[in-house]
Chain A
Amino acid sequence: MRIVVDRPRCEGHGLCEEAAPRLMHLDDDGELVLDREEIDEADAALANAAVRVCPVAALRIA
Chain B
Amino acid sequence: MTTPPTSDVDLFADEVVLDPYPVYAELREQGTVVHLLKNDVYALTRYAAIRDALMDWESFSSTSIAFNPMANEALTGTSLASDPPVHTQLRATLTENLSPRALRGLKGRIEAKADVLVAELVEKGSFEAIDALARAFPLEVVADLIGFTGHVRDNMLRWGQAAMQVIGPMNQRTAESFPIAGELYAWCSQVKASDLAEGSVGRGIFDAEARGAIPPDTAGHIIHQYLGAGVDTTVAAIGNVVALFAAHPDQLDLVRENPSLVPAAFNEVLRFWPPVNAWGRRATRDVEIDGTVIPAGAQIAVLLGAGNRDPRHYENPDAFLVERNPVDHLSFGYGPHGCAGQGLARLEAHAVIEALSRRAKRLVVGPEVRVPSNITRSIEELPVLEVIPA
Contacts and interface: CB of A to CB of B under 8 A. Distances in A.
A53 B343 CA distance: 14
B101 A30 contact: yes
Interface stretch (B244-252, B332-340, B356-364): B332-340
A57 B343 CA distance: 15
A57 B55 contact: yes
A11 B339 CA distance: 11
B327 interface: yes
A13 B332 CA distance: 12
Contacts of A53: 327-328
B335 A56 contact: yes
Interface stretch (B41-49, B92-100, B190-198, B382-390): B92-100
A30 B95 CA distance: 14
Contact of B101 (A11, A15, A18, A57): A11
Interface string A3-43: 00000110111110011000000000111000000000000
A31 B101 contact: yes
B100 A12 contact: yes
B336 A56 contact: yes
B88 interface: yes
Contacts of B92: 8
B313 interface: no
Contacts, number: 44
Interface residues of A, number: 17
Interface residues of B, number: 19
Interface in B239-271: 263
Contacts of A31: 101
A15 B332 CA distance: 13
A55 B63 CA distance: 21
Interface string B88-131: 10001001000111001000000000000000000000000000
A9 B335 CA distance: 9
A12 B101 CA distance: 6
B328 A52 contact: yes
A14 to B, nearest CB: 6
A11 B95 CA distance: 8
Given A53-B328, A57-B338, A13 B88 contact: no
Name the residue in A8, A31, A52, A57 with the highest tally of chain B Cβ atoms < 10 Å from its Cβ: A57
B183 to A, nearest CB: 30
* Nearest 9 Cβ contacts at the A-B interface: A30-B101, A12-B101, A11-B99, A57-B335, A56-B338, A55-B338, A12-B100, A53-B327, A13-B100
Interface of B: 55, 88, 92, 95, 99-101, 104, 263, 327-328, 332, 334-336, 338-339, 342-343
7 contacts: A12-B99, A13-B100, A30-B104, A31-B101, A55-B332, A56-B336, A57-B334
